[in-house]
Structure 1
Amino acid sequence: MNSNVDEFISNATKWQPEIEQLRLLLLDCGLTEEFKWRNPCYTFQGNNVVLIGSFKEYCALSFFKGSLLQDSNGLLSKPGENSQAMRFLKFTNLQEIIEQQSIIKAYIYEAIEIEKAGLKVIFKSNTALELVEELQIALDKNPSLKTAFKALTPGRQRAYNLYFSAPKQSKTRETRIENYTPRILDGKGFNDCICGLSKKMPNCDGSHKYIRGENK
């Protein structure tokens, strides 16, 4: 068990019993517990499988490659109209989880088998921009960030997406996104000047480095 998840559950003001029960089911299925995007995340051999989410009307299990699940029970929902990969199961009470635990486990085990087989979601080529997985999740979790990112020009969106997708490690990609979230919320592009010292506004020409060097 991850200590950050312990803290997350103890501080939860809503859905605490439901989250605890979902946690037990996920651990019982043999997944590794981590803490990403400020939520409990469960992985298999280093690959993200499912995320526990807490919302106003329900709590949820969000499957990273949910679109590949068969969903024979018709229980999966899409987090957004344009979501091509993630699907989630939502719950509104503890009894619902207890009664459906065998079905829930079946979804989890199927998601694990997808990772074992190395299957990947094939994104539609007609989408304007295929966001790196960690960025898409961050946008789905933070409506304000999603609005601010969509307000950026296509070029600025592509620049961020390219920078965030570069690292091989998922944790490094997550850190980059967290570090640049304030800049995105402020409406700034990756290459935009944020100190006001550039002579090529709005782009950054590195002037701040020389000016600060002269002031030392």
Structure 2
Amino acid sequence: MSTKNPAVDEYMAEGCGRCDKVGTPECKVNTWRDGLAELRNVVLDTPLTEERKWGSPCYTYDGQNVVMIGAFKTNYVLSFMKGALLKDEHHLLVAPGENTQSGRVIRFTDAERVVELASVLKAYILEAIEVEKAGLRVDFKKMKDYALPLELQQAMDADAALKDAFEALTPGRQRSYILHIGSAKQAKTREARVEKCRDKIFDGKGFNEY
């Protein structure tokens, strides 16, 4: 049994603290507290170290993030950082977003389900630890595999400074703009998104960074 971290005790009592509902009945952690507590018990019964990162419980092995627990409006999750590499024999894992390459989550809406699946969840966690021990890595799509939205390419062709700023971004940040701009169905919307993203690109930030 791993040692409980006081910072996670605080999370369970008050919430993640990332919005103004912290410590109130409307806090998402409060909504799912019983189920989150059961998930926490399952993870603590493994060799992982309990920490708190990005406001939420994070469980690490040899300094590497392996799983996290999180609360959302309609459900709460056990999130596997390299879930794409797990066998998923019980078909429980889902990608949290259509463009997610590595992470996978198991969603819950009641504590009883966690209790029922406790042994299975623990087996998944132990497999995730073995993945980490083996040093396995997800084979991410390379930037060359992503097509630049035409409107972004045209903007960079017309503005060398924008092109230099975009190419100076990390691959992950570049990808965030490609996906955001390219997801718009209409050309005018894609053009508008390029303009709205200019300042962030020049600031060296990804689309989801503030």
In the superposition, the TM-score normalised over structure 2's length comes to 0.64
Residue identity in the other structure for 2:112: Q
- Go from structure 1 to structure 2 and tell me whether the alpha carbon gap of 1:188 and 1:112 turns closer, same or farther (over 3 Å shift): same
RMSD: 2.7
Alpha-carbon distance in 2 for matches of 1:128, 1:155 = 18
Residue identity in the other structure for 2:105: F
- Go from structure 1 to structure 2 and tell me whether the alpha carbon gap of 1:118 and 1:4 turns closer, same or farther (over 3 Å shift): same
Structure 2 unaligned regions, length at least 5: 15-28, 148-161, 174-195, 205-210
Q: CA deviation at 1:159?
A: 3.9
Alpha-carbon distance in 2 for matches of 1:99, 1:163 = 37
Structure 1 unaligned regions, length at least 5: 130-152, 165-183, 193-216
- Go from structure 1 to structure 2 and tell me whether the alpha carbon gap of 1:185 and 1:117 turns closer, same or farther (over 3 Å shift): same
In the superposition, the TM-score normalised over structure 1's length comes to 0.62
Q: CA-to-partner distance for each residue in 1:61-81, whole Å, 9 max, x for gaps?
A: 110000000001111010111
Verify: 1:3 aligned to 2:20, yes or no: no
Match of 1:15 among 29, 32, 38: 32
- Go from structure 1 to structure 2 and tell me whether the alpha carbon gap of 1:163 and 1:54 turns closer, same or farther (over 3 Å shift): closer
Alpha-carbon distance in 1 for matches of 2:95, 2:106 = 9
Residue identity in the other structure for 1:189: I
Alpha-carbon distance in 2 for matches of 1:190, 1:82 = 24
Q: Which residue of 1 aligns with 2:75?
A: 58
Q: CA deviation at 1:189?
A: 3.5
Give the SS at the match of 1:189. helix
Alpha-carbon distance in 2 for matches of 1:81, 1:155 = 29
Work out whether residues 159 and 190 of structure 1, in 8 Å CA contact, stay in contact via their aligned partners in 2.
no
Residue identity in the other structure for 1:82: N
